[in-house]
Each structure stands twice: as structure tokens, then as C-alpha cells.
Amino acid sequence: MATSDWLTGIYLTTSEVLKYPDYVERLRDEIGLNTVVMSFSGELPERVLAKSPYGGRVPTEAELGELVLRHFDGRPVDPREYDRAQALCGPGVSATGNDETFRQAVGQLKDAGLKVWTYGGAWTIRRLMFCPSRVDVREWMEAVCVHWATQYELDALDITHFRYPMGSFPLGLFGCTCSACAATAGEMGYDMDAMIADLKSARKGLQNLDGKRLSEVVRLGFGFFDVMHALGLRSGVLDWVRFRCDLVVRNLAQFKAAVRRAAPDTAFGTDTYPASMALTAGHDYLRWGEMADFASPLVSHISAFVCNTFIEWAQFLQEEIPDLTEEDALQLVYRFLGYDGMGLPETVAAYGADEPATLAYRIPTADLVLRDLVKAKLYLPADMPSYPIIHGEGWGRDTIDRIVSESRRLGHNGIVWQGTSELMDYEFK
């Protein structure tokens, strides 16, 4: 691929763009920046707002409880996220936008010769997810995507959080099982009750394991059939993973088609969960072409997405299985999730979870990120453009350089940066 086709992007907010106009110009001249992914901070017109499941007002906690993901034990999500959901005008869109400043920022970037993408949040806010089966939520998101694609002369939508909650919130793996999702499961050929029964049976299988013997096996190594064998895994568990992926594909394919009809020149994509754990978030790389024009593997969140998942799952296993040590629980998780053999920490304390900003210096960050970028190219359709999202600060220059050069070798098509202090000196005054 010619260097000119290489996408160099950065995530910025509208206010950053307006406050530091020379920042992107210098990035353009010094590192070849050609694209800015700017958070949507405009307003929505009445005809779009009329479709909001919020009905034009701030929803009560009881009303939100009806709109959001429900766990298979009947609990709604953690209400701690409700205040964030209540600050929106509908799933994924802030109620405090200003169209004039958003348009001004888009115009300023275009004048600087840059492409402009936007991202809006969508289905998930940390633990909270709006139910993916509800027709009102889907019609709303479609109307919002079409508005974004048609009103601001944007080059692409790179919608964020179109997925199930991240693996570091284990309860998120077991939703949504609400009545709308049960009905959708039936329409798609799945049986919600059978899936829930098989999930519960797998958990029983886990609890029946002898922790000491399991530790011995973990140190020797285990494979796909061992997992199936040990848990007495039944087909409903696989169906559960597939059902969630099918729902995400159906929803995103609907939005992509609507955007294509309304704005044929605006690309549609969504940030893409790290490949090793993508299926846990409902992201199926093999089918990415059905629901997006490009992939943007979000491999920058090494703390929230990846390491916190290791820690949470290891602690969950220790709770479920007596006599399983923390060290063995971590090794089990590494192997099960496909991150073994790279020298990840042997104890939870070694992660220093209270200092996420320096985490990259305590773990083999380049190996971790590249493992997911190698897998991404195995799974993504061969012609699918792919723009990994990585950190340009807090990771160290050697790590960054290795990830970028390997990304080129692997056939990815650019990098979208989060932070640039390792790439260019710039003082934000």
C-alpha cells in the first residue's frame, strides 16, 4: 500500500479542535495526519428527537430499567450508570449539544485538508447496555446515524460502543435476556430458555471441578476439548455467543444500509473489540463486511478491556472453584482467552491496577496488542480496511514503533491515535 493511502487519524473532541487549531495542522505536517475522528457534539432536529425512546424527557430509573439489558438472573444493570444514561436525549447521544460549534469545528478541519469522521456512543455505557432487540431503540439509532451521515459533510461514521458490555464486567456476558430478546431469539432460531439452562449447567460444571487437580492441568496445558469436557459444555452456550453476535450484525447491518441509502459517499464503521475476546462482546470479525465498511480494532484499552478482564475472571474462578490459587487462575484465564505464553503478570498485584496510566510499562504491551492485530487479519474479510486504534502516549516510543511497523507488515491500513505526546511535542495551553 502506498504511503498516501495510509490513514493517520486521531480522536479529538470538538472543543479541542476549536481551542487548538494549530495542533492538527502540526500533526498533519509532522506525522502525516489526514483524518480526525471527532466526537459528535451537535444537536438533533425535532423529527429525529421524536424517535427517541426517552419520549422527549429525562427517563426515570424505572423507565430506564425497561430499556436496558437484563441479566439472566432477572437483574437489570447496575444503576450506577443510570445518571450517565439520563444525561442523554436518547441512547448514545448527549442532550447538551451545540450544532453551531460542531459545524464550525468540521469546517475548520476540512479547511486544513483533513477528513472528518464522527463517533457517537451507542448501545453500551460501561455496564449499561440498551437492549439490542427493542425496535424503538433500533429505529432511534438508525435515524441518528442517518442524521449524522447526511447533515455535516462527514467522510465516515465510526460509531462507538455498538457491542455488549466489556468482559471486565462479567455480568454483562449474561444479558440481555429480556422478553424482547427472548422473542428475537425465537425468530432467529434460538431458544432463550434452553440457552439459559445450558449457561447455568456450565456454571455448575465449573463449580464441580477440583481446584488442585485443575491447577495441575493448567500448568501442563489444555485445549478446546478440555474446556468442553470439563464444563460438560452443552450447545446452548455456543448458541448464546452466536445469538448475541447475530443481534449485533442485524442491528449494524440495518444502520449501515440506511446510511448507504441516504449518504452513499459516507462510510459506516464501528470500533471493533479486540479479536481474542471479540465474541464475548458480540463482535464477529468474520461477518464484519455485513455490518461495516471498515474495521477499527480498539486495541488501546489494555486496562479496561483486557487486563481488568483477566483480573475479574481470575477472581470469579477462585470464587467458583475451591483450592484454585490466584496464580493458577490467572494462567487459566490467559490460556482460555488466548493470551498465554507472552509473560503476563503472575499475580493480580503485579498489574498495579490502581495505576492504569503506567500499566503499559508493567506488561508486554506490544506483544499483547499485536496478538490481537494478527488475529484481526486472520478473521476480517480480506478486502476489509482496518485501522487499529492505539495510544501515542503512555506506551513508550519503542512499543509504539513496533506496533506501527508490524501493523503495516500485517496489512492493516492505518492507525488512529489516542494521544500524541510520544509522537510530537505540543503544549496544550
For binding to Zn ion (CB under 5 A), which residues are involved?
A: 131, 133, 176, 178, 180-181
Closest CA to 168 of 17, 23, 303, 15: 303
Cβ at position 176, least distance to Zn ion in Å: 3
Nearer to Zn ion, 49 or 178 (CB): 178
Q: In angstroms, give the least distance from the CB of 313 to Zn ion.
A: 24
Largest CA distance in the chain: 65
Q: Which is nearer to Zn ion, 128 or 333 (CB)?
A: 128
Q: What does DSSP say about strands 124-125 and 128-129: parallel, antiparallel, or unpaired?
A: antiparallel
Judged by CB, which is closer to Zn ion: 75, or 397?
Answer: 75
DSSP type of residue 170? G
Please, which residue, 176 or 311, has the CB nearer to Zn ion? 176
Residue 221: Cβ within 10 Å count:
10
Cβ of residue 36: shortest distance to Zn ion, in angstroms? 35
* Residue 190 Cβ vs Zn ion, minimum distance, rounded to whole Å: 13
Nearer CB in complex with Zn ion: 59/274: 59
Count of residues making up the chain:
429
**Gyration radius from the chain CA atoms:** 22
- Tell me the closest approach of the beta carbon of residue 180 to Zn ion, in angstroms: 5
Q: CB of residue 135 vs Zn ion: minimum separation in angstroms?
A: 11
**Which residue(s) pair with 130 in the sheet?**
68
C-alpha–C-alpha distance, residues 106 and 97, integer Å: 14
Backbone phi, psi, residue 258, to 5°? -65, -40
Alpha-carbon distances, residue 13 vs 2, 19, 105, 275, 294 (angstroms) = 29, 10, 9, 27, 22
Smallest distance from Zn ion to CB 174, Å: 12
345: left (phi over 0), alpha (psi -120 to 50) or beta: beta
Whether 290 and 249 have beta carbons less than 8 Å apart is answered as: yes
Q: Letter for the amino acid at 171?
A: L
If the CB atoms of residues 247 and 363 are measured against Zn ion, the closer one turns out to be 247
288/162 Cα distance (integer angstroms): 13
Residues 220 and 265: beta-carbon distance below 8 Å = no
Beta carbon nearer to Zn ion, 182 or 337: 182
User: Residue 257 and residue 262: Cα distance in Å, rounded?
Assistant: 9
By beta-carbon proximity to Zn ion, the closer residue of 106 and 181 is 181
User: C-beta of 127: minimal distance to Zn ion in Å?
Assistant: 15
CA atoms within 13 A on the CB side of 18: 13
- For residue 359, give the amino acid letter: L
Q: Which three cell numbers stand for residue 203?
A: 456454571
CA distances from 419 to 30, 282, 336, 364 (A): 15, 28, 32, 20
Residue in 313, 268, 238, 89 with CA at minimum distance from that of residue 162: 268
C-alpha cell belonging to residue 184: 428475537
CB closer to Zn ion, 181 vs 366 = 181
* Smallest distance, Zn ion to C-beta of residue 305, A: 23
Position 62, amino acid: A
Residue 273 C-beta: closest distance to Zn ion, Å = 19
Alpha-helical segments (H) within 6-76: 14-19, 21-31, 46-49, 61-67
Q: Measured from the CB of residue 211, what is the shortest distance to Zn ion in angstroms?
A: 35
Nearer to Zn ion, 149 or 176 (CB): 176
Of 120 and 175, which has the nearer Cβ to Zn ion? 175
